[in-house]
């Protein structure tokens, strides 16, 4: 896709974004890891179509995502999810490809081979239908999942928790964000998946560990909360503590549910403790949770308890917590200051 001549779209010409005064329909594609997804969203909030093809079953047999296989599966699914998203939009409100305001795609962070499939599809659609292209950061997109079907407006404090990231983010405006703290080692989702593997749960371990934790005693074992400066986190020591605990029991007698519940208690209280400090210091009255781990029952429970202290709490419904393209479309609408170069490249790690 290199060196294709850019057509210059300007925001004045293509009226887009919350201040444009025009209805926008953005089609977005997401393929950063193991979900191939396509969605059409009206004005950043109203989901017209939302299609996700998950590869979980394929990767489960290997105990984790195999990048090469994931990229090939994206290739198999990409045209199907795009067609289905167009079909749903046509059937529900009569929207055709020519009515799409702009085409967006996730540029990173993620698995490069996977990102290339979705991004090139988004670019091809933009070129084919002669519309602007918008490249979207996957982490920003997770935050924007909270704009879907809600009236949330910045400023707010956000906790972003996924398989690759753990961050407290001060969202000052639609396009201005400041990362206040992050993990210095494992991300929360990564810690969940690693601990799940330690106790013999199949991939993806996070949701399974969560389920078992709900049946255990969260105070059965006191696990160490890492002492890290400011709003930063560390979860690798906790993982080692769980390993030690697991080894202290004969396999048949391992109190799996209590270990899960104690781990979940330690993680959720660490996260919410620091998040609460950040909100109090900011003076904001709104708090948001995002990312795949935002599906976690105990983290949700503890964050929603902040409603009793007068805060508005937002957490996406499950379908917008894990990877999807509706959040990417919303992000393209709210975060876009300019359109992107059609030669924009993918990136694997946070820049
Ligand atoms: O955001 P996401 O879908 O993909 C990344 O961008 O990383 O997050 C996936 C992560 C995985 O580590 C998965 O185990 C974790 O989110 N996860 C959970 C739960 N549901 C998903 N972790 C804990 N409890 C859950 N209920
Ligand atoms: Zn994600």
**Closest atom of ligand 1 relative to the 204 alpha carbon:** 14
Same domain, 25 and 71: yes
- 78 C-alpha vs ligand 1 centroid, how far in Å? 22
The CATH number covering residue 213 comes to: 3.30.420.40
Residue 55 lies in a domain: yes
Same domain, 133 and 199: no
- 339 C-alpha vs ligand 1 centroid, how far in Å? 30
CA 108, CA 136: separation in Å to the nearest integer? 7
Same domain, 84 and 62: yes
Same domain, 142 and 54: yes
Residue 135 lies in a domain: yes
- For 247, left (φ over 0), alpha (ψ -120 to 50), or beta? alpha
For ligand 1, atom 24: residue with the closest CA: 296
Same domain, 132 and 263: no
Same domain, 263 and 176: yes
Same domain, 183 and 295: yes
**Closest atom of ligand 1 relative to the 187 alpha carbon:** 12
Question: Which pLDDT score, from 0 to 100, does residue 61 have?
Answer: 83
Same domain, 162 and 305: yes
Question: Which pLDDT score, from 0 to 100, does residue 339 have?
Answer: 86
Residue 281 lies in a domain: yes
Which ligand has an atom closest to residue 295 CA? 1
Q: What is the pLDDT of residues 224-240, one digit of tens each?
A: 888 899 999 999 999 99
Same domain, 167 and 235: yes
Question: Which pLDDT score, from 0 to 100, does residue 4 have?
Answer: 61
Same domain, 288 and 206: yes
Residue 230 lies in a domain: yes
Residue 343 lies in a domain: no
- 38 C-alpha vs ligand 2 centroid, how far in Å? 14
pLDDT block averages, 10 residues each, the chain of length 351: 64 81 95 95 98 87 85 95 98 96 96 96 96 94 96 97 94 93 95 93 91 98 91 95 94 93 97 97 97 95 97 94 95 85 86 54
Question: Which pLDDT score, from 0 to 100, does residue 66 have?
Answer: 87
Which ligand has an atom closest to residue 161 CA? 1
Same domain, 119 and 102: yes
Three-state secondary structure readout of the chain: CCCCCCCCCCCCCCCCCCCCCCCCEEEEEECCCCEEEEEEEECCCEEEEEEEEECHHHHHCCCCCCHHHHHHHHHHHHHHHHHHHHHHHHHHHCCCHHHCCEEEEEEECCCHHHHHHHHHHHHHHHHHCCCCEEEEEHHHHHHHHHHCCCCCCCCEEEEEECCCCEEEEEECCCCCEEEEEEECCCCHHHHHHHHHHHCCCCCCHHHHHHHHHCCCCCCCCCCCCCCCCCCCECCHHHHHHHHHHHHCCCHHHCCHHHHHHHHHHHHHHHHHHHHHHHHHHHCCCEEEEECHHHHCHHHHHHHHHHHHHCCEEECCCHHHHCCCCHHHHHHHHHHCCCCCCCCCCCCCCCC
Ligand 1, CB within 6 Å, residue ranges: 33, 162-164, 189, 192-193, 204-207, 210, 291-293, 295-296, 322-323
- 322 C-alpha vs ligand 1 centroid, how far in Å? 7
Find the domain containing 242 and state its range: 156-316
Same domain, 193 and 131: no
- 198 C-alpha vs ligand 2 centroid, how far in Å? 23
By CB atoms closer than 10 A (0-12, 13-18, 19+), residue 226 is middle
Q: What is the pTM of this model?
A: 0.92
Domain count, the chain: 2
């Amino acid at each position: 896709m290199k060196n294709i001549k850019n057509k210059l779209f300007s925001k004045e010409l293509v009226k887009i974004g919350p201040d444009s005064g025009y209805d926008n329909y953005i089609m977005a594609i997401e393929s950063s890891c193991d979900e191939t997804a396509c969605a059409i969203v009206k004005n950043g909030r109203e989901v017209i179509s939302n299609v996700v093809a998950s590869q979980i079953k394929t990767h489960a047999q290997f105990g984790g995502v195999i990048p090469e296989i994931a990229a090939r599966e994206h290739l198999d699914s990409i045209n199907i999810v795009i067609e289905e998203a167009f079909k749903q939009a046509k059937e529900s409100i009569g929207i055709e490809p020519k009515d799409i305001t702009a085409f967006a795609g996730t540029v990173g962070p993620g698995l490069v081979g996977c990102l290339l499939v979705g991004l090139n599809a988004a670019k091809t659609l933009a070129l084919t239908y002669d519309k602007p292209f918008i490249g979207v950061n996957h982490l920003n997109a997770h935050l924007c999942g909270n704009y879907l079907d809600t009236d949330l407006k910045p400023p707010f404090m956000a906790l972003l928790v996924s398989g690759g990231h753990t961050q407290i983010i001060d969202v000052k405006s639609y396009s201005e964000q400041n990362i206040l703290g992050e993990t210095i080692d494992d991300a929360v989702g990564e810690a969940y998946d690693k601990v799940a593997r330690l106790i013999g749960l199949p991939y993806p371990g996070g949701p399974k560990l969560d389920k078992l934790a709900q049946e255990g005693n969260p105070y059965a074992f006191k696990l160490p909360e890492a002492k890290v400066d400011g709003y930063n986190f560390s979860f690798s020591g906790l993982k080692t503590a769980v390993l030690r605990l697991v080894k202290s029991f004969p396999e048949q007698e391992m109190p799996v549910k209590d270990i899960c519940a104690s781990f979940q208690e330690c993680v959720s209280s660490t996260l919410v403790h620091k998040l609460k400090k950040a909100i109090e210091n900011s003076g904001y009255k709104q708090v948001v949770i995002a990312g795949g781990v935002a599906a976690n029952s105990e983290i949700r429970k503890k964050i929603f308890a902040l409603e009793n202290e007068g805060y508005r709490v937002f957490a996406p419904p499950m379908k917008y917590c894990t990877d999807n393209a509706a959040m990417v479309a919303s992000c393209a609408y709210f975060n876009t200051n300019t359109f992107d170069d059609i030669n924009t490249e993918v990136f694997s790690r946070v820049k």
